[in-house]
Amino acid sequence: MMGDIMCIFCKIANKEIPAKIIYGDEDTMAFLDVNPRSKGHTLVIPKKHYETFDELPEETAINLIKTIKKVVNILKSLNPDGYNILNNNKPIAGQEIPHVHFHIIPRYNNEKEAI
Ligand code: 5GP
Ligand code: ZN
């Protein structure tokens, strides 16, 4: 799989560095955030390197949304009271890792006990 050789999410996609992977298919994967905002905080990425959402081919964008849906279903086992789906594009918008990703953040009524 080609990608940015310095990119940490490409390395996770290529299994060159470890991550707690909760779902994977040909085009996409989902793994737990190393610094979770809540229990089950998951990142969904395309395996191929793109920086921002607008760069994604349409098919990849559709596959990402399908994976997000699967992850939301998987995370139901944690019984969240709600969840956020977030996507930051470029540093001004809060993007720290320049490999497009969606955050799925389960939310709990008592968030202090959530992690
Ligand atoms: P951003 O601010 O780019 O939208 O979010 C990047 C997210 O990636 C952050 O929530 C951060 O905790 C997570 N992250 C950064 N490095 C790693 C890593 O090496 N492994 C995992 N699993 N998550 C990471
Ligand atoms: Zn990458």
How far apart, in Å, do the first and last CA atoms of the chain sit?
Answer: 34
Q: What is the pLDDT of residues 34-75, one digit of tens each?
A: 999 999 999 999 999 999 999 999 999 999 999 999 999 999
CA–CA gap between residue 43 and residue 68 (Å, rounded): 9
**Which ligand has its closest atom nearest to the C-alpha of 99?**
2
Which CATH number is 65's domain given?
3.30.428.10
In the block, residue with structure tokens 């939310």: 107
Question: Would you say residue 1 lies in a domain?
Answer: no
Our answer on whether the CB atom of 9 is closer than 6 Å to any ligand 1 atom is no
Q: What is the pLDDT of residues 14-39, one digit of tens each?
A: 999 999 999 999 999 999 999 999 99
**Centre of ligand 1 from the C-alpha of residue 100, in Å:** 11
Name the catalytic one among 41, 49, 99, 101: 101
**Centre of ligand 2 from the C-alpha of residue 1, in Å:** 10
Question: Would you say residue 54 lies in a domain?
Answer: yes
The complex's ipTM works out to 0.99
Q: What is the pLDDT of residues 86-107, one digit of tens each?
A: 999 999 999 999 999 999 999 9
CA–CA gap between residue 107 and residue 87 (Å, rounded): 17
Question: Would you say residue 83 lies in a domain?
Answer: yes
Question: Which residue puts its alpha carbon closest to atom 18 of ligand 1?
Answer: 34
Instruction: Give the domain range for residue 55.
Output: 8-113
